């Protein structure tokens, strides 16, 4: 049967109007020439007529041949397309599952059947019974290009819900290549011997050589075991190069090299601690090295004896930090810090000093100490204090300060400070280093000049581009650090007065829990100096006196003590009652004095929307790490956090999970 190709069935690229117009024009021209030939010569007209007829016949025959060949081509192409679709559906290396509306498997292509074991008879079975992960992807609204692992292979899943179909592309090879690539990516690290100089300073050359030989042997074995290239670049610093796979192994081991080094050297009565900063994720080694150095600086700022691992745009991961930080500051360093601080104060128009929100005696005393140094250098200084956010003891201190006009005139509110500050003014943060904790964080946005003086372990969040950073976690308090700076301030200005000395001594007393925690020889030296310049111990006792209601409130909290495990106790406040932060802190301190308690946590409501945790430890349990995981921070034995939008019960359950994970 002859098949005619209709014009409306022609492909668009064959329906060329220009070609048709050209053909009509050529035939019209030839017809006109034939007519004109008859008018000129009869014989010429007959010749042109014959030529015209021949042309028509040739065009007609060629047209028929073209149509037949085109029909044949289209039919053959259609058949091949249909056959290709069928073959692809059955044989292509992609799994296809067709489901019923209820989610039962109605059909799967042969390729998918070959990927399943012979015992798997999936036809008629519900998808959630066969592969729950695949069912979750099918039910999800955002399911395109999801990945699942099934029978030892990795598939990329595409869902077509309108026909109840699932397409599974086997990407096992690509996933394996990606995994191998990620495992082989470079990791750069720095290893620092925290107290190497202090240990070796008391050894002779032979002792130093033996100590170095022991370290070299251990690091060599450790590097060979983990495939790590290491190079000693200074007497107390090593450069490390490894890959991601080995880094994951080190993290699974919790960087036990930290504990092993400390235990091994302690047996020689030379307890050495180490710190590590590890970085990965960047494409260039120079950026990796810089990031690793930043991580090492962060580890040292937190007191050392720990490892910090961080990739670009990721939160840092902390390991170690189980011991109290060792004292690294010396009189020489205090003198250098004092001189650098004085230079920055002199180069600024004004000085603004502020502690953290809801300041304690240490924050206020430290602020007054820095303010006195600025006044001794003849500089205008403002101490930022929010009078609406003060605890009872600080409120009593502020009333005493009003009796000292020279000091009281420098006290300003956050709003007033924001109006006064200019671009060339200096902002000094004391007793904290996180801008979010500052009384007036907007001050940091209005000037690029800032200095940090703190005694808390450094966290990830930090001020931008500080001119000077003096963080010493070993110090009992910030007031202790600032007291040591006065010795090196030479000025004709008025020296520190009684109220300032009393506030600073009060800060030391509060942060050491009356000289029972984190107290070193330098702490007593600072306290002795403050006492010599007029600090009033009796006034401090009056400031710290409790109201009877606060005492009873603390007793009610102690009645709620719940022992978790391993000497860890949690006390909780009433859901509807708001407790001052000082009550929670004092309750935690009291709990530590009880038999069988190594770490104490007090969870109370601080405002209608915020719940706080005060954490204390005798040193065996690192409460700082626990609080950091809940968004806070502090010291190994003294930490806290504040959480918005949750109940006391919810936070206690979360706290128990974090404690359990830490113990594990």
Distance CA 574, CA 576 (A): 6
Distance CA 174, CA 189 (A): 29
Distance CA 55, CA 454 (A): 103
Q: What is the pLDDT of residue 361?
A: 92
Q: How many CB atoms lie within 10 A of CB 177?
A: 11
- Helix axes 548-558 and 581-592, enclosed angle (nearest 10): 50
Inter-residue contact 430 to 353 (CB < 8 Å): yes
CA dihedral angle for residue 643, residue 644, residue 649, residue 655, rounded to 10 degrees = -20
Q: What are 104's strand-pairing partners? A: 126
- 318-334: per-residue pLDDT in tens? 888 766 555 555 677 78
For residue 289, being part of any structural domain is answered with yes
- The structure tokens listed for 546 are 């409790």
Q: What is the mean pLDDT of residues 345-368?
A: 92
For residue 326, being part of any structural domain is answered with no
Same domain for 73 and 112: no
Distance CA 162, CA 591 (A): 63
Please, which pLDDT band fits residue 11 given cuts at 50, 70 and 90?
very low
pLDDT at 1 over 60: no
Final residue of a domain: which of 112, 145, 175?
Answer: 175
pLDDT at 4 over 60: no
The residue written with tokens 């609406």 in the block is 388
The residue written with tokens 């109220």 in the block is 499
Of 291-305, 319-333, 363-377, minimum mean pLDDT range? 319-333
Distance CA 651, CA 659 (A): 12
- The structure tokens listed for 126 are 């519900």
For residue 60, being part of any structural domain is answered with yes
pLDDT at 5 over 50: no
Spell out the residues 6+ positions from residue 408 whose beta carbon is closer than 8 angstroms to its own: 401, 402
Q: What is the pLDDT of residue 322?
A: 66
Same domain for 655 and 528: no
Q: How many CB atoms lie within 10 A of CB 416?
A: 13
For residue 130, being part of any structural domain is answered with yes
Q: What is the mean pLDDT of residues 405-411?
A: 92
In the sheet with 186-193, reading across from the earlier edge strand, the strands are: 229-234, 237-243, 186-193, 274-280, 306-311, 317-320
- 484-529: per-residue pLDDT in tens? 998 888 777 788 899 999 999 999 998 888 887 778 888 999 999 9
Final residue of a domain: which of 48, 64, 90?
Answer: 90
Inter-residue contact 446 to 435 (CB < 8 Å): no
For residue 181, being part of any structural domain is answered with no
Q: How many CB atoms lie within 10 A of CB 660?
A: 12
* Number of domain units in the chain: 5
For residue 582, being part of any structural domain is answered with yes
Q: What is the pLDDT of residue 391?
A: 82
For residue 658, being part of any structural domain is answered with yes
Q: What is the mean pLDDT of residues 147-174?
A: 82
Same domain for 266 and 399: no
Please, which pLDDT band fits residue 2 given cuts at 50, 70 and 90?
very low
- 55-92: per-residue pLDDT in tens? 778 777 777 777 777 778 777 777 777 766 666 666 66
Same domain for 478 and 352: yes
The 10 Å CB-count burial string (b at 16+, else e) for 317-350 is ebbbbbbbbbebeeeeebeebbeebbebbeebeb
Distance CA 232, CA 422 (A): 46
Residues recorded for the chain = 664
Same domain for 74 and 124: no
Longest dimension (CA), the chain: 143
Q: What is the pLDDT of residue 88?
A: 62
Q: Return the SS3 of 460.
A: coil
Distance CA 430, CA 475 (A): 13
pLDDT at 234 over 80: yes
Same domain for 307 and 206: yes
Q: Can you give 136-169 as a three-state secondary structure string?
A: HHHHCCCCCCEEEEECCEEEEEEEEHHHCEEEEE
Same domain for 435 and 311: no
User: CATH number, domain at 420?
Assistant: 3.90.1640.10
Please, which pLDDT band fits residue 218 given cuts at 50, 70 and 90?
very high
- The structure tokens listed for 501 are 């000395």
Range of the domain at 652: 549-663
Distance CA 363, CA 369 (A): 10
Same domain for 418 and 498: yes
Same domain for 490 and 432: yes
Q: What is the pLDDT of residue 363?
A: 93
Q: Return the SS3 of 96.
A: strand
Distance CA 588, CA 606 (A): 15
Same domain for 374 and 262: no
Please, which pLDDT band fits residue 6 given cuts at 50, 70 and 90?
very low
Q: What is the pLDDT of residue 527?
A: 92
User: CATH number, domain at 624?
Assistant: 3.10.310.30
User: CATH number, domain at 279?
Assistant: 3.30.70.1230
Closest C-alpha to 563, from 594, 604, 522: 594
Distance CA 167, CA 109 (A): 10
Same domain for 504 and 387: yes
User: CATH number, domain at 137?
Assistant: 3.30.450.20
- The whole-model pTM stands at 0.61
Q: How many CB atoms lie within 10 A of CB 621?
A: 23
- 546-600: per-residue pLDDT in tens? 778 878 888 899 999 999 887 899 999 998 888 888 788 889 988 988 888 999 9
Please, which pLDDT band fits residue 403 given cuts at 50, 70 and 90?
very high
Inter-residue contact 480 to 473 (CB < 8 Å): no
Burial class (CB in 10 A: 0-12, 13-18, 19+), 82: exposed
Final residue of a domain: which of 90, 109, 134?
Answer: 90
Q: What is the DSSP letter of 433?
A: -
Share of the chain above pLDDT 90, in %: 34
Inter-residue contact 526 to 533 (CB < 8 Å): no
For residue 182, being part of any structural domain is answered with no
Q: Return the SS3 of 564.
A: coil
Same domain for 57 and 117: no
- The structure tokens listed for 595 are 């038999």
- The structure tokens listed for 120 are 């798997």
Q: Return the SS3 of 514.
A: coil
């Amino acid at each position: 049967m002859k098949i005619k190709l209709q014009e409306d069935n022609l492909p668009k690229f064959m329906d060329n109007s220009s070609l048709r117009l050209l053909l009509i024009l050529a035939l019209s021209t030839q017809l006109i020439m034939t007519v004109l030939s008859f008018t000129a010569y009869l014989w010429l007209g007959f010749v042109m007529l014959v030529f015209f007829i021949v042309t028509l016949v040739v065009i007609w025959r060629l047209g028929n041949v073209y149509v037949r060949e085109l029909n044949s081509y289209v039919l053959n192409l259609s058949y091949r397309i249909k056959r290709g679709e069928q073959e692809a559906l059955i044989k292509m290396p992609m799994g296809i599952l067709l489901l019923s509306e209820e989610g039962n498997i109605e059909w799967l292509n042969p390729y998918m059947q070959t990927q399943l074991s012979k015992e798997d008879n999936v036809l008629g079975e519900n998808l959630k019974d066969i592969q729950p992960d695949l069912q979750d992807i099918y039910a999800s609204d955002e399911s395109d290009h999801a990945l699942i692992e099934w029978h030892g292979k990795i598939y990329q899943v595409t869902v077509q819900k309108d026909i109840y179909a699932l397409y599974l592309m086997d990407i096992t090879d690509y996933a394996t290549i990606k995994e191998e690539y990620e495992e082989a990516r470079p990791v750069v690290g720095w290893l620092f011997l925290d107290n190497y100089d202090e240990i070796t300073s008391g050894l002779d050359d032979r002792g130093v050589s033996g100590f170095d030989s022991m370290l070299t042997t251990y690091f060599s074995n450790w590097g060979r075991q983990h495939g790590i290239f290491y190079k000693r670049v200074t007497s107390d610093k090593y450069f490390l190069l490894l890959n991601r796979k080995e880094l994951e192994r080190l993290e699974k081991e919790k960087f036990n090299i930290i504990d092993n080094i400390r235990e091994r050297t302690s047996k020689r009565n030379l307890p050495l601690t180490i710190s590590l900063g590890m970085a990965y994720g960047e494409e260039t080694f120079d950026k990796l090295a810089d990031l690793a150095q930043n991580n090492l600086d962060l580890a040292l700022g937190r007191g050392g004896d720990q490892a910090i691992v961080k990739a670009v745009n990721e939160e840092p991961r902390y390991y170690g930090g189980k011991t109290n930080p060792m004292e690294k500051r010396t009189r020489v360093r205090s003198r250098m810090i004092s001189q650098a601080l004085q230079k920055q104060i002199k180069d600024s128009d004004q000085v603004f000093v502020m502690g953290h929100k809801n300041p304690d005696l240490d924050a206020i005393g430290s602020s007054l100490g820095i303010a006195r140094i600025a006044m001794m250098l003849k500089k205008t200084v403002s101490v930022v204090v929010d009078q609406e956010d003060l605890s009872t003891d600080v409120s009593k201190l502020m009333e005493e300060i009003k009796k000292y006009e020279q000091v009281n005139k420098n006290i300003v509110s956050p709003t007033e400070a924001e109006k006064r500050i200019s671009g060339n003014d200096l902002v000094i943060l004391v007793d904290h280093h996180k801008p979010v904790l500052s009384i007036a964080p907007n001050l940091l946005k209005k000037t690029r000049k800032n200095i940090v003086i703190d005694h808390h372990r450094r966290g990830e969040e930090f001020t931008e581009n500080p001119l000077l950073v003096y963080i010493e976690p070993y110090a009992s308090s910030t007031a202790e650090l600032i007291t040591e700076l006065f010795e090196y301030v030479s000025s004709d200005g008025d020296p520190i007065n009684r109220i300032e000395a009393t506030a600073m001594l009060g800060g030391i007393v509060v942060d050491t829990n009356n000289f029972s925690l984190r107290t070193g020889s330098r702490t007593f030296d600072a306290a002795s100096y403050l006492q010599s310049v007029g600090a009033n111990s009796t006034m401090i006792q009056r400031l710290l006196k409790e109201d009877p209601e606060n005492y009873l409130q603390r007793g009610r909290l102690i009645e709620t003590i719940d022992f978790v495990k391993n000497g860890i106790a949690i006390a909780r406040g009433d859901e509807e009652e708001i407790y001052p932060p000082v009550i929670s802190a004092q309750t935690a301190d009291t709990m530590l004095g009880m038999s069988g308690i190594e770490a104490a946590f007090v969870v109370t409501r601080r405002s209608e929307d915020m719940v706080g945790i005060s954490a204390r430890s005798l040193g065996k349990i690192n409460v700082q790490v626990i609080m950091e995981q809940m968004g806070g921070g502090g010291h190994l034995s003294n930490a806290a956090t504040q959480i918005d939008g949750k109940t006391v019960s919810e936070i206690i359950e979360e706290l128990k999970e974090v404690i359990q994970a830490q113990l594990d």
